[in-house]
Homo-oligomer: A and B are copies of this chain.
Amino acid sequence: MTPDNTPNRQRVAYFNGKIMPESNVRVSFRDRGFTYGDAVFDMTRTFGHRIFKLEEHIDRFYNSLKYVQIDPGMNPDEMIDLTKQVVEQNLKLIGPDEDYWVGQRVSRGVDLVGGDMWETDGGPSVIIECKPLPLAARARLYRDGIDVRIPSVRRVPPDSVSPRAKSHNYLNLIMGDLEVKSQDPESWALLLDNRGFLAEGIGSNIFTIKSGTLYTPRPQYVLGGISRETTIELAEELDVEVVEKDIDQFDAYTADEVFLTSTSLCICGVRSVQGNTIADGSVPGPITKALQDAYVDLVNYDWVSQYLMRLED
């Protein structure tokens, strides 16, 4: 893959007070975000160069910050404003049918050498960044469907660290992903929660459909994605009942349709779960399709075509 950060087209990012070229955004190796993953982040995307539900993402971001007790040193409005500036400056670097992931990250700061545990040398590290969505790499998923695999490791339980805070501690999800990728590099991992019910993948939520009802795991065990919430709202507008419940493998294997949601995917059909083909294996199923269409209408941008047009690349 050709790197896209050629000097004259370099993206910028906000870092501790200034917007600067990305290559200058480097954190101390003593930054607690690096040494301990002691940081939180959030991530939305643009649709046709417009940022999606930025306020909702920032609201969720400040919940994550409150949970880990990190003070970012600015209020939500300032964070929103800076995000818009970063996006604005970067938009010229991508084509009209490309879009960005747009994210904010705050770590607790840099450990004070010689201090005792948790003393920091200065304030938090704050970063606001963009990066192009991997549209071509994922185009295939919209045609073929996602093959979901369930690793043996279980999602970290809520009484250890809440999955509802979007933190820099992803090793549990990574271990699960490594398991399934070693089997099928194209598959996506979806972890079970500590009780054995379906939870979530790396940044993705799962929905199953049976007899016209939409099901998704209870919010205590997953990061409540904005795309998940958007999907629930769209379903309600389409008069499709949505139920949050404990979903087991029996539910998944016998579902009529299954799909994943995530910031980048929005809604993408699942072809198989742990090697079991869902229905006849074609995606998207009818309700999934209706939800995708409603999502396209909501954002006023045909992101499905944005992915699929790259099949010809």
Contacts and interface: CB of A to CB of B under 8 A. Distances in A.
A149 B182 CA distance: 10
Contacts of A105: 29, 35
Interface string A148-177: 011111111111111011011111101101
A116 B129 contact: no
Contacts of A37: 36-37, 168-171
Given A67-B254, A160-B157, A34 B27 contact: yes
A138 interface: yes
Interface stretch (A73-81, A242-250, A283-291, A295-303): A242-250
Nearest to A137: B116
Interface stretch (A45-53, A193-201, A229-237, A304-312): A193-201
A121 interface: yes
Q: How many copies does the complex hold?
A: 6
A249 B153 contact: yes
Nearest to A5: B113
Contact of A153 (B29, B119, B161, B197): B161
Contact of A159 (B121, B158, B192): B192
A238 interface: no
A132 B157 contact: no
Interface in A118-137: 118-119, 121, 127, 129, 131-132, 134, 137
